[in-house]
Amino acid sequence: MRNCMKTFSQLAIITLILAVTACSINEGKHAEKAGAPQKGSFTNPLFPNGADPWLEYWDGNYYLTTTTWTSELVMRKSPTLAGLVSAVPINVWSATEAQRCCNFWAFEFHRLQGPNGYRWYMMYTAGQDGTLDHQHLNVLESAGDDPMGPYEYKGAMMPDVWNIDGNYLQLKDKLYLIYSQWQGDEQRNLIAEMDTPWSLKADTKHVVLTRPVLEWEVSERKVTEGAEILQHKGRTFMTYSGSFCDTPDYKLGLLELVGDDPMVAANWHKSETPVFERTETVFGPGHNGFFTSPDGTEDWLVYHANALETEGCGASRSLRAQKFTWHDDGTPNFGKPITPGVIVAPPSGEDGPLETIVQGQTYSLVNATSQKCLDVGPSFALQAQCAASNNDWVLDSTTEGFYRLAKRDSRQFLDLAQCKAKEGVNTQLSPWHNNYCQQWQLKTADDGLVTIINRATGLNLSLANCSSDLGQAVQQNTNTECQQWRLQPTGDVAILSQQSGKALSIELSPAKFARNVEQSAWTNNTNQIWQMTATEFGFMQLKNKNAAELCVGIAENAVVPGANVELQQCTAPTAQWRMQPVNGGGFNFINRYSKQALNFANCGLAQGTNIAQAPVLNNNCQVFHLRATK
């Protein structure tokens, strides 16, 4: 830094800023050069309290769930595996019904063909408060192709009998449920044929696939559970966890389907020895999942384990991941659990180049000065008339409050030309390369307009020469003009609470005015679907499809905390809101007139919890996520 500092007295303020940026980049404050790849290596465990993990890599992001023990289903999302450590946990579902309110375990989400096309099906174990005697499997269905939801409750396959750790097997156009159940003094894995992803065939048999009869399966209790399917080169394997989870001897076993019909127990060959077990530093490794690297060249294992022999089934179980290979005979080779603290290289392909559709709500990015939209040309980003061709930007959160600006139709990401830390550099689309020049920060002003700031350079997204001409280049600059943008959500939107996962809704009431605004579980009804209309600056009106002539406002236009949120005439002073981005991709909705935020009463999870206004408190009860409804 010393050599660069010598030039400061000879530079204007703008040059000073750019010199500091260049020196910081060149001397490795953030990276070896502008936009150099973020370090994606990690050490196990990734983070504590990560029992029963399920992880999928889909459309440019990792998605992760782990057991919560609560009434909430929490998901983390990141474009890198290591980024999951700091990813904001988002609640995508919660339940308060007495028969399935509590003790949430072992979430798994699978992309399957359903009645309305491909959807994500979230299977999880839940039961009643105060007891584990009524745990049973439940299934949710996503509204579209986004693993973050919204999700609708579809049902329970066997609500009146104890069953846990559900998983799907797809084979020859048939779908099967594999689950675990106590029979006598043995916990066994069973299989049954499914009619839909949330229901069993009426005449299906329930066939036992594993019984705990081997010496390594019966430590303290006779247990086989947590079955997971692994298919490779036309072969079907099933891992499972054996022995009691409260012991350090919890470990993985393996079956292979060697016949055509998975409903015939004899068609499954069981290995006599475990395939993944404790070491001197890792205890009780089990309840695993599988995922592939972003480029599809590597197979990875995700699992939980403990750091001490004395730790058991509780919150001490931590999340771990490692690559695995294949034996010469075609069976999986999981190796041994990696010792804590050993540096693990990231999955192959995290640094791209990657072109992909990124899931999420779409936006138009409207320049506040020109009232034209961010678009792309053959060589660089430019402004154009706002149209369907440029309303497909996805604000995809990464880490520490930054975003990727992904253009869905182009399958690419907004980037700086040659990743230069220089004023006036054009922006462009490029494949994802996991660098800071492709990440942006959103800062909101009191009028709801945002500045979009590049992570590598600290410079703002702006119009060249502050021109309103069509085709004008969109560049990075420090000028204070033409650098403000309106985030305009497009299409039908679900507004989900980060606290509860439930949807902003209105009462299904015939009343014309003063319809109350509350939360309810997603059911894809019109009273849960919103459209957002721009007024002036960056303010929005929220209109419900069930009452499109009205807007969300404050009862009696009150400015006091606790005043009720309800539908009002759109001319009311309190019928406008600004969206303030928060870390993790959500927003606070702050009223233009009262300066207060949408807030859930008592941070409630229950169906029908009321919404009022409150001072901005920076908690989950005031954070909302916009999701596409199909």
Angle at 52 between CA 294 and CA 180, to 5 degrees: 115
573-629 pLDDT tens trace: 999 999 999 999 999 999 999 999 999 988 999 999 999 999 999 899 999 999 999
In whole numbers, what is the pLDDT of the chain averaged over residues?
A: 92
Distance CA 524, CA 504 (A): 12
Residue with tokens 């979230």: 122
Provide mean pLDDT across the span 416-435: 94
> Are residues 74 and 501 in contact, defined by beta-carbon separation less than 8 angstroms?
no
Q: Is the pLDDT of residue 33 over 90?
A: no
Single-letter code of the amino acid located at 353: P
507-538 pLDDT tens trace: 876 555 558 999 999 999 999 999 999 999 99
142-171 pLDDT tens trace: 999 999 999 999 999 999 999 999 999 999
215-257 pLDDT tens trace: 999 999 999 999 999 999 999 999 999 999 999 999 999 999 9
Three-state DSSP class for residue 510: coil
72-100 pLDDT tens trace: 999 999 999 999 999 999 999 999 999 99
Q: Which residues does 177 contact at the CB level (< 8 Å), separation at least 6?
A: 137, 157, 166, 167, 168, 169, 191, 192, 193, 194, 200
Provide mean pLDDT across the span 453-467: 95
| Structural domains for the chain | 1-33 (no CATH), 46-344 (2.115.10.20), 362-489 (2.80.10.50), 493-628 (2.80.10.50)
Three-state DSSP class for residue 358: coil
Q: Is the pLDDT of residue 20 over 60?
A: no
Provide mean pLDDT across the span 530-552: 95
Which structure tokens are listed for 214?
Answer: 């081997």
Q: Is the pLDDT of residue 29 over 50?
A: no
CA 522 to chain centroid = 17
Which structure tokens are listed for 311?
Answer: 């730790």
The pLDDT, as a whole number, for residue 514 is 55
Q: What are the start-end ranges of the H helices in 277-351?
A: none
DSSP code per residue over 76-127: EEESSSGGGGTPPPEEEEE---GGG-EEEEEEEEEEEEETTEEEEEEEEEEE
Tell me the β-bridge partners of 373.
Answer: 366, 384
> Are residues 214 and 189 in contact, defined by beta-carbon separation less than 8 angstroms?
no
Percentage of the chain beyond pLDDT 90 is 88
pTM of the predicted protein model: 0.93
Q: Is the dihedral of CA 95, 100, 102, 107 positive or negative?
A: negative
254-290 pLDDT tens trace: 999 999 999 999 999 999 999 999 999 999 999 999 9
Distance CA 585, CA 360 (A): 10
Distance CA 577, CA 217 (A): 58
DSSP state of 583: T
Which structure tokens are listed for 316?
Answer: 């001490």
Distance CA 323, CA 290 (A): 10
Single-letter code of the amino acid located at 525: N
Q: Is the pLDDT of residue 15 over 80?
A: no
The pLDDT, as a whole number, for residue 513 is 52
Residue 119, judged by CB atoms within 10 A of its CB (0-12, 13-18, 19+), counts as: buried
Which structure tokens are listed for 605?
Answer: 């999870």
Q: Which residues does 510 contact at the CB level (< 8 Å), separation at least 6?
A: none
> Are residues 34 and 456 in contact, defined by beta-carbon separation less than 8 angstroms?
yes
Residue with tokens 């006036």: 424
